[in-house]
Structure 1
Amino acid sequence: MSSEEKRTWISAVVGVVVPVVYLAIVLSKVPGAGVARIAYVGPMLTAIGVGIGASIVLTIVAAIASPRDAGKTDERDREVNRRGEYVGFYVMSIAALVPLVLAMAEVEHFWIAHALYLAFVLAALASAAVKIVAYRRGW
């Protein structure tokens, strides 16, 4: 497995675990209180920071575990990355319409922020999924 594929797997796992934990914590507060009272900004920024930090640390650990492969990319890695990023871009472009519509409808900031966060998560997961399939099955 190339270092780029390992990075993709790390991104996919972190991209699932961190948002699920965040959403479980924050959305569990929704039934008992109005969304205007839920303090979500700090936890959301923490989740984003933890996601970035975990990806960096796990990528470093993977590079230390197999130093010969670290940082090596070839044409296949670049093509897989390009295709995955294209898909992620299109998913983000479509998913970003939801928070835009919510903002136009003057919905609570809580829902707009979470729709945007979900759009980013879906784009990252779609990108990672395309890359993993490309690595595993080829073109």
Structure 2
Amino acid sequence: MTHEEKRAWIMLVVTVVAYCAYAVVIVGRADGHPLSEVAYTGVLLWTVGGAIVAAIVAEIGIGMVRPGASREKDVRDKEIGRRGEHIGQSFVVIGAVAAMLMAMAGWDRFWIANVIYLCFALSSVLGSLAKIIAYRGGFQQW
């Protein structure tokens, strides 16, 4: 498994765990009240920050387990990375358009922030999955 494939796995796992943790905390805080009344800002910031730290720590841990592993990217790694990012970026655009439309319609900030966070998470998951599939299934099939 190449270093870039390991990075994709780390990003996939960290993103799913972080977003699920965020959703569980927010739903738990609702306690029968509307979700838009839940204090979400701190949880969102801590979840995103924690995910960034977790990804960095996981990558350092992987580097410590295999210190001699090559971190050089070959042409295949670069192309898989580029295509994976392009595939994942579709959800960033979807999230931006959705947030813009929600803001124009006067939706609550809770929903706007959460659709943006959801689309960032989906972008990361989709991009990571595309990279993993390319590494596992063969890049030539694209």
Q: Which residue of 2 aligns with 1:132?
A: 132
Q: How many residues align?
A: 139
Q: Which residue of 2 aligns with 1:91?
A: 91
The gaps in structure 2 that reach 5 residues or longer are none
Say what the alpha-carbon RMSD is for the aligned residues: 1.4
Q: CA deviation at 1:27?
A: 2.3
Q: Which residue of 1 aligns with 2:41?
A: 41
Larger mean CA deviation between 27-36 and 70-79 belongs to: 27-36
Larger mean CA deviation between 115-124 and 93-102 belongs to: 93-102
Matched letter for residue 56 of structure 1: I
8 Å contact kept, 2:30–2:37: no
Matched letter for residue 26 of structure 1: I
* 1:17-96 matches, cutoff 5 A: 17-30=17-30, 32-96=32-96
Q: CA deviation at 1:70?
A: 4.5
SS of match in other structure, 1:22: helix
Write the distance in 2 (CA, Å) between the matches of 1:65 and 1:86. Answer: 31
What percent of counterpart residues are identical?
37
8 Å contact kept, 1:35–1:108: no
Q: CA deviation at 1:28?
A: 2.8
- TM-score in terms of structure 2 length: 0.91
Write the distance in 2 (CA, Å) between the matches of 1:119 and 1:96. Answer: 8
The gaps in structure 1 that reach 5 residues or longer are none
SS of match in other structure, 2:106: coil
Write the distance in 2 (CA, Å) between the matches of 1:136 and 1:37. Answer: 44
- TM-score in terms of structure 1 length: 0.93
Q: Which residue of 1 aligns with 2:13?
A: 13
Q: CA deviation at 1:31?
A: 5.4
Q: CA deviation at 1:3?
A: 0.8
Write the distance in 1 (CA, Å) between the matches of 2:43 and 2:26. Answer: 8
SS of match in other structure, 1:69: coil
